[in-house]
Amino acid sequence: VTKLPIFEGIEDYLKEDNAPFSMPGHKSGRGFMSTEQGKKLYKSLINGDITEVEGLDNLHKPEGIIKNALQLLSKAYGSYKSYFLVNGSTSGNLAMIFSAFNEGDKVIVERNCHRSIFNGIIMRKLAPIYIKNKISRRFNAPLSIDMEHFLQLIHNNLDAKGIIITYPNYYGVCVNIREIIKIAKEKNMFILVDSAHGAHFGFNDNLPESAIRLGADMVVMSAHKTLPSLTQTAYLHVSNNVNINRVDFYVSSFSTTSPSYMLLASMDYARYYMESKGAEDFQYCIEMGRKYIEKINLLEGFRVLSKKDLLDENPEDIYDFDESRYIINMKDGYSGHKLIAYLRKNGVQAELSDESNVVLILSPFNNETDFIKLYNALRDCPMMELISKSIPIKINKFPYVSLMPYEVADKVSVKVKLNESIGKICAVNIVPYPPGIPILISGEVIDKEAIAMIQYYLYNDVTVLGIENDSLLIVQEGILK
Ligand SMILES: Cc1ncc(COP(=O)(O)O)c(C=O)c1O
């Protein structure tokens, strides 16, 4: 009988000794072991899990060591004010949305955004207008927003209070954030950036630019995704264009009153590390990445996309690319999902897969042995085992909006069969994974195209969140909970 299921599960995983190309950014503790200060921190991490005893300050009213650390953080990132988040970028996205907007405000937001943004929109009772995502036909992945559609939305919705943009996306692809910030300023709209995957940006000239330095109003970054910091840690940076009292209130409201000092100390360490070694170490990481792109791309069957591949593919919509990401692209007819499972069996932990790609997060703490393990696994890969029918991603036009997502939260919902749902109001988000872009958002009217699209993904064995046994939840009209 298992007595300690979680710990035993972790132990089993650690025994696999995988090359870490996934989160967290400290890569199995290596990030702490790379400096003398980090080694000391590593040794006292568990001991250091203390509470707000005398002399150790208070995250909710920082006046001592936490205040000092926050000032150093703000200086390192060039913000007006910065915050430590102990509940991830999720809490940062909620705090941004609540501080910047009021009930009923209209916001322009990318359809392919993180669930914390959708949830924030519901909780704050906002009226969202969605930006279309662009699909790369060549690489079969959602790689950017549709800039032309974005400009059109701005033009048609000058009463919107703000814009929420993901920069970069999960694949490391960056929209033209410079231009988007400029437009937001011209139109007097708040610009909020979910930079969960971009905490390392701006520290090396070969990395994309930092959104807060470019003048965004509020920027959230997960320290744990790309920096040597513990899982769950994130930063929020704000400019002097926002109401600081509101931000203080909402950040505090979405944070536990018992933040672990292990988390706080690791965020402080990640900032220290990036300031002292970030530029040099990320240079090493990028160069190692480039070296192995060349080697891997000589192998039959795989193509690690270079910055040039991506920029050539879509010059109007893709502005930059984070070279500390690998997108391993498979030819048509081969499955990214099968490749990620094969890599794991062969000692390589990747971050994400879609129908045609596997995404890896590289870091300065990945040594050459990790890259050799990856290369050898790909070289020895029996391609026959990765064959699957390739399913090209489809995008439809957005369905008609009948209710705001927050209005649906107050209504009773009932289950109906998909093929009997036409004309009804959807009560959940219907999201095929991959690509993760919602076909329907709660409050939208289920039309013929949406049903056909859902059936297309189900027929091709793609998981569609919100669909169970060919049924989905619809709003029982007129009935309040
Ligand atoms: C784009 C994006 N934003 C926000 C988040 C949430 O971050 P966290 O897990 O730190 O709460 C994620 C997590 O994967 C993400 O990919």
> pLDDT tens across 103-117, in order?
999 999 999 999 999
Distance CA 111, CA 130 (A): 5
Mean confidence (pLDDT) of the chain: 95
Ligand 1 touching residue 170 (CB < 6 A): yes
* Alpha-carbon torsion (104, 106, 108, 111), positive or negative: positive
Q: Strand 106-110 vs strand 162-166: parallel, antiparallel, or unpaired?
A: parallel
Mean pLDDT value of segment 226-246:
98
Query: Going along 126-261, which residue ranges are E strands?
Result: 127-131, 133-136, 141-145, 162-166, 173-174, 190-194, 218-222, 234-238
Q: How many residues does the chain have?
A: 481
**Better-predicted residue by pLDDT, 434 or 66:** 66
Contacts of 3 (CB under 8 A, 6+ apart): none
Q: Is the pLDDT of residue 227 over 70?
A: yes
pLDDT band at 77 (very low <50, low <70, confident <90, very high): very high
**459 exposed, middle or buried (CB, 10 Å; 0-12, 13-18, 19+)?**
exposed
pLDDT on residue 51: 87
pLDDT bracket for residue 141 (50, 70, 90): confident
Q: Which atom, in ligand 1's list, is nearest to the CA of 225? A: 10
Closest CA to 234 of 189, 284, 271, 186: 271
Q: What is the arithmetic mean of pLDDT over 117-129?
A: 96
Tell me the mean pLDDT in the region 414-424: 96
- pTM of the complete model beyond 0.75: yes
pLDDT of res. 412: 94
Instruction: Express each pLDDT in 319-367 by its tens digit.
Output: 999 999 999 999 889 999 999 999 999 999 999 999 899 999 999 999 9
Which has the closest alpha carbon to 89: 274, 224, 285? 224
Query: What does the pLDDT look like over 358-409, one tens digit per residue?
Result: 999 999 999 999 999 999 999 999 999 999 877 888 877 899 999 999 999 8
Find the mean pLDDT for residues 116-145: 92
DSSP symbol at 480: E
233 Cβ below 6 A of ligand 1: no
Q: Are 104 and 129 in contact (CB under 8 A)?
A: no
Choose the residue to mutate in 89, 167, 236 for probing ligand 1, maximizing ligand atoms within 8 Å of C-beta: 89
Q: Is the CB of 89 under 6 A from ligand 1?
A: yes
Mean pLDDT across 92-100: 98
Q: Which residue has the higher pLDDT, 391 or 54?
A: 54
| 325/338 Cα distance (integer angstroms) | 20
Q: What percent of the chain has pLDDT over 70?
A: 99
98 CA distance to ligand 1 centroid (A)? 17
Half-sphere exposure of 160 (CA within 13 A, CB side): 27
CA angle 94, 99, 105 (to 5 degrees): 90
**What pLDDT, on a 0 to 100 scale, did the predictor assign at position 1?**
64
pLDDT (tens digit, 9 = 90+) per residue, 204-214?
999 999 999 99
- pLDDT of 480 > 70? The answer is no
Q: Per-residue pLDDT averaged across 174-181, rounded?
A: 96
Q: Can you tell me which atom of ligand 1 is nearest the CA of 232? A: 10
Q: Quickly list H helices, 260-317.
A: 261-273, 279-296, 307-313
